[in-house]
Amino acid sequence: MLYREAGQFKTSYSADQAMLTIPLDRWFVFGLAAFAIVGVPLLASEYLIASILIPVLILSIAALGLNILTGYCGQLSLGTGAFMAAGAYLAYKIATNITWMPIWLVIPLAGLCAAAIGIAFGLPSLRIKGFYLAVATLAAQFFLLWLFVKVPWFVNYSISGVPTAPPRSVLGFDVTGATATNEAKYLFVLAFVIALAWIARNMARSRIGRSWMAIRDMDIAAELIGIRPLPTKLSAFAISSFYCGVAGALWAMCYINTVEPTAFDINRSFQVLFMVIVGGLGSVLGSFLGAAFIFLLPIFLNSAPGWFGYSVAGDIITHIEFMLFGALIIFFLIVEPHGLARLWQIAKEKLRLWPFPY
Amino acid sequence: MLMKKLATAGLAAAVAAGAVGVAQAEDGQYIPVLSYRTGAYAPNGTPFANGYVDYFQLVNERDGGVNGVKFIVEECETGYKTDRGVECYDRLKDKNGGATVLSPWSTGTTYALIEKATNDKIPILSMGYGRTSAADGRVFPYVFNFPSTYWSQATAVVQYIANEMGGLEALKGQRFAFIYLDHPYGREPIPTFDILAERFGFTYDKYPVPPATMTEQKSIWLQIRRTKPAYAIMWGWGAMNSTAVKEAANIKFDMSRFIGNWWSAAEPDVLPAGEGAIGYKGATFNGAGTDYKVFEDLEGMSGLSDDGDRGTVLYNRGMVNAAFIVEAVRLAQEKYGKGKHVSGEQVRWALENIDLSAEDVEALGLTGLMPPTTVTCVNHEGTNPAILVQQWNGTAWEIITDWIPAMTDIVRPLIEQDAAQYAQENDITPRDCS
């Protein structure tokens, strides 16, 4: 009743090919985007923007990246943190050495560098599959972080080795560094999120996405119908690393303000992998839901007792948080192995029938 | 189905709507605490946080606060993770009339918060850790790292080794081992060691311990057994320390030639190694034990942590950390109005003008715990950075040296160089301190 597909006829090819064919979907997404652009900066508190929305949006980009590689192309990767680090370090390097370059160009450029590195580490995927590939990408995780720490060139020979994001602005508004307002940083990150999600969604339903999925579902069959595995797998690695690199650059520039190797360690790779699994493999929406769920659940569990006026010792809360977090992940994997995106789909199916289920 | 990505935003809004809380201005100095009582760093984080929180409680109960203004202390668990530290900071900074001062207790978090806190006008007291070059107060007005930085500490440790070996000349040709946590914290002193090695003609091998696998150090210590370094120096934290001490004991390394920095020499670090740890040394700036006047005051107070940690190195250091803040608040009140709430900006001024003589420390009942400290506008490290060396005798830490001064002539130019690079990259004009 509320959500209907019946009776909506498409009368032109462009309408048929549109990304959001159902008007209700379209208006919902446009409305949400408009609200995120206009409403959130006006209404949301500083804490909500700076500590919740910015990191969740950035991690969503990383999850999108991993979802392209793992969810769409079926190549398991544990190198997400390293590709994020590549983006972060190279964004810093480019931003400080080519000072005239606008920051909105620096970040995609850093993403391209990460993509190049991703291609190099993607080469083994042509020979090895499954868990063995995961181990190979683990090598990227450890090697790249070691490299960035080892070679002081990446941090401009800074003695401390933990450089600070330089202040840069877009259209006269500072978006990185100390003077940037949270709203400016948020909108800057949001612009990347919208653009990258739009691109990802369109890639997924075009030739390149379909060839990824063919490789994922059965690589020999895909080869037989004329999909070349080399360009397909490498393109997935490149694009995935590009997304991760952009996410890493934004994380360093717009969130924690420093380029710090521990922010991109193996735990980050696992965190993003959990986001993709819990959110839903092979789903753009799932990347966002997963990122929000995995990042916010600990914070929610941590602050929940306070809202109800209970004061519980910090360490006890954290231990409860660990237990609940683990239990919830297991619960989700059992009850909904296809992730949160699938839950959303089920909700829509229900809405289609509501209020008259058979 | 399609890009309902911003559903995320909506979800986040719903989740966090309550988290924003009400920022009611209470009459009290608000002290947010970024503690870590869980995870691999909890053995060190817990006593430190207990000492810190207890001292504020003591001041509230014993003196009724500072001139009647009580402290409101709130903890937020970070697990020693930088991003959680940033989140905690954002969550707490505006509550109760705004944070007075922040002690992040993590070098990574300190780095991440320098610009934010400077912008929010909340001073950071990273007491003996954090960004070393923040000692240049002209570039980092809101960051303080007295009583000494890592770099100063590194030079003082080398000075101590030289004293033991019979002078700085004796360092020539020696080989040392440097075991460190592979984290901004552990890497911080490396440039200083490089310069010292060059100047005094010694060499040193670096043994990074990755945070993810810090309890696996077998291979490191086998290498150390092979290379036979004259001294081993450690920059560790959390479970890494006790592992290193245990492994050192396993290979029968001469413990009196194994020196930790002041975050690597506390009870949780040596107790697990048992007898093997006897003789292990560490830098410090505060005494251990409970033979100080302030502990008499703690007796019978309510609302304290349970007394198991009392008198340990880190508990005492937590108290010192709080004591510095209490004295800064007192100083700020003297300038801006006694018995009134002081802002972060006013406390910043006070931190910069701290001048605690030995008599002042005596009056606080903290002699032997808190080093006499003078901070200036230019020098946020304190004017006489120095260390004591303590040794573990199997039951307690004993201080075995007098104050060993750092080589400020080497460290200060490095600090100014790094601060200048920071200022240039961030378009900061260093303020005029004269």
Which of A94-98, A232-236, B38-42, B345-349 is predicted least confidently?
Answer: B38-42
Is residue A181 classed exposed, middle or buried when 0-12, 13-18 and 19+ CB atoms within 10 A define those classes?
Answer: middle
Q: Cβ contacts of residue A165 below 8 Å, gap of 6+?
A: A92, A95, A176, A177, A252, A253, A254, A257, A258, A259
Residue B331 lies in a domain: yes
Domain A45-353 maps to which CATH number in 1.10.3470, 2.60.120, 3.30.40, 3.40.50? 1.10.3470
Q: Are residues B270 and B400 in the same domain?
A: yes
Does the beta-carbon distance from A48 to B7 stay under 8 Å?
A: no
In a domain, B9, yes or no: no
Q: Are residues B282 and B404 in the same domain?
A: yes
- For residue A80, give the amino acid letter: T
Do B90 and B60 reside in the same domain of the chain? yes
Over residues B416-431, the pLDDT tens digits come to 888 888 888 778 888 8
Please indicate, yes or no, if residue B12 is contained in any of the structural domains: no
CA distance to partner chain B, nearest, from residue A53 (Å): 7
Same domain, B247 and B394: yes
Mean pLDDT (chain B) is: 84
Q: Where is pLDDT greater, at A90 or B41?
A: A90
Q: Which residues of A touch B76 (CB under 8 A)?
A: 302, 314
- Residue-averaged pLDDT of chain A: 85
Paired sense of beta strands B258-260 and B281-284, if any: parallel
CA distance B82 to B104: 10
Confidence of residue B17 (pLDDT cuts 50, 70, 90): very low
Among B8, B91, B114, select the one facing A291 at the smallest CB separation.
B8
Which among A35, A51, A163 is the nearest to B91, CB-wise?
Answer: A51
Q: Tell me how many domains chain B contains.
A: 2
Examine the domain organization and report whether B181 and B52 are in the same domain. no
Q: Please report, for the domain that includes residue B157, its CATH number.
A: 3.40.50.2300
Look up the pTM and report it.
0.81
- Mean pLDDT in residue range B288-313: 81
In this predicted structure, the answer to whether residue B23 has a pLDDT above a threshold of 80 is no
Residue linked to tokens 């080989």: B175
Q: Could you read off the pLDDT of B197-237 as tens digits, one per residue? A: 999 999 999 998 887 788 888 889 999 999 889 999 999 88
Considering only alpha carbons, which residue of chain B is nearest residue A258? B112
Q: What one-character-per-residue DSSP string does A136-199 give?
A: HHHHHHHHHHHHHHH-GGGGTT-SSS-PBPPP-EETTEE-SSTT--HHHHHHHHHHHHHHHHHH
Residue A299: name the closest of B45, B116, B12, B41 by CA. B12
Q: Which domain holds residue B225?
A: 150-287+388-409
Q: Is residue B161 part of a domain?
A: yes
Q: What pLDDT is attached to residue B6? A: 42
The total number of residues written for chain B in this structure: 434
pLDDT on residue B24: 39
pLDDT band at residue B25 using 50, 70 and 90 as cut-offs: very low
State yes or no: pLDDT of B9 exceeds 70: no
Long-range contacts of A95-103 (CB under 8 A, 24+ apart): A95/A165, A95/A166, A95/A168, A95/A176, A95/A253, A96/A156, A96/A163, A96/A166, A96/B425, A97/A156, A102/A168, A102/A170, A103/A168, A103/A169, A103/A170, A103/A175, A103/A176, A103/A188, A103/A253
CB contact under 8 A, A167 and B94: no
Assess contact for A293 and A272: CB atoms under 8 A: no
Q: What pLDDT is stored for residue A1 in this prediction?
A: 52
A48/B3 touch (CB, cutoff 8 Å), yes or no? no
- Give the best residue of A20, A21, A47 to mutate against chain B (max B CB count within 10 A): A47
Per-residue pLDDT at B345 exceeds 80: yes
Tell me if residue A29 falls in helix, strand or coil: helix
The reported pLDDT for the residue numbered A258 is: 83
The one-letter amino acid code at A308 reads: F
pLDDT band for B15, please (50, 70, 90 cuts): very low
Confidence of residue A86 (pLDDT cuts 50, 70, 90): very high
Closest CA to B120 of A105, A46, A52, A116: A46
Contact B19 A48 (CB under 8 A): yes
In this predicted model, what pLDDT tens digit does every residue of A49-68 receive, in sequence order?
888 899 999 999 999 999 99
Q: How far is CA B61 from the centre of its chain?
A: 26
Structure letter (DSSP) for residue A81: H
- The three-state DSSP-derived secondary structure of chain B is CCCCCCHHHHHHHHHHCCCCCCCCCCCCEEEEEEECCCCCCHHHHHHHHHHHHHHHHHHHHHCCCECCECEEEEEEECCCCHHHHHHHHHHHCCHHHCECCEECCCHHHHHHHHHHHHHHCCCEECCCCCCHHHHECCCCCCEECCCCCHHHHHHHHHHHHHHHHCCHHHHCCCEEEEEEECCHHHHCCHHHHHHHHHHHCCEEEEEEECHHHCCCCHHHHHHHHHHCCCEEEEECCCHHHHHHHHHHHHCCCCHHHEEECCCCCCHHHHHHHHHHHCCCEEEECCCCCCCCHHHHHHCCCCCCCCHHHCCCHHHHHHHHHHHHHHHHHHHHHHHHCCCCCCCHHHHHHHHHCCEECHHHHHHCCCCCCCCCEECCCCECCCCCCEEEEEEECCCCEEECCCCEECCHHHHHHHHHHHHHHHHHHCCCCCCCCC
* Rounded CA separation A207/A204 (Å): 8
Residue B25 has which token pair?
């201005």
Q: What integer pLDDT is reported at residue B302 of this predicted model?
A: 76
- At a CB cut-off of 8 Å and minimum separation 6, what does B17 contact? A48
Q: Which of A63, A199, A66, A339 has the alpha carbon at shortest distance from B3?
A: A199
Please choose, from the candidates B20, B16, B115, B86, the residue with its C-alpha nearest in 3D space to the C-alpha of residue A53: B16
* Residues B277 and B297 both lie in one domain: no
Q: Are residues B305 and B250 in the same domain?
A: no
Which chain A residue's Cα is nearest to B88?
A: A51
Domain boundaries, chain A: 45-353
For residue B394, is it within any domain? Answer: yes
Torsion of CA A151, A156, A158, A162, to 10 degrees: -80
CA distance A224 to chain B (A): 30
**Which tens digit of pLDDT belongs to each residue from A2-11?**
667 777 778 8
Q: What is the pLDDT of residue A154?
A: 85
Mean pLDDT, rounded, for B118-134: 87
Q: What is the pLDDT of residue B5?
A: 44
- Regarding whether B327 and B225 lie in a shared domain, the answer is no
Radius of gyration of the CA atoms of chain A, in A = 21
CB pair distance less than 8 Å for A302 and B77: yes
Task: Tell me, yes or no, whether B258 and B404 share the same domain.
Answer: yes
Pair (B166, B130) in one structural domain: no
DSSP letter, residue A333: H
The predicted-structure confidence for A298-348, as pLDDT tens digits, reads as follows 888 777 777 777 766 767 777 887 788 788 778 877 887 788 888 888 888
**pLDDT value of position B177:** 92
Report pLDDT for B123.
92
Instruction: Let me know if residue B53 belongs to a domain.
Output: yes
Please write the tens of the pLDDT for every residue from B355-409.
888 888 888 888 888 888 888 888 888 888 888 899 998 888 888 888 888 888 8
Whether the CA torsion A19, A21, A23, A25 is positive or negative: it is: negative
Q: Which residues on chain A are in Cβ contact (under 8 Å) with B87?
A: 51, 55, 299
How far apart are the C-alpha atoms of A191 and A186, rounded to whole Å? 9
- ipTM of the prediction greater than 0.95, yes or no: no
A58/chain B closest Cα distance in angstroms: 12
Residues of A in contact with B92 (CB under 8 A): none
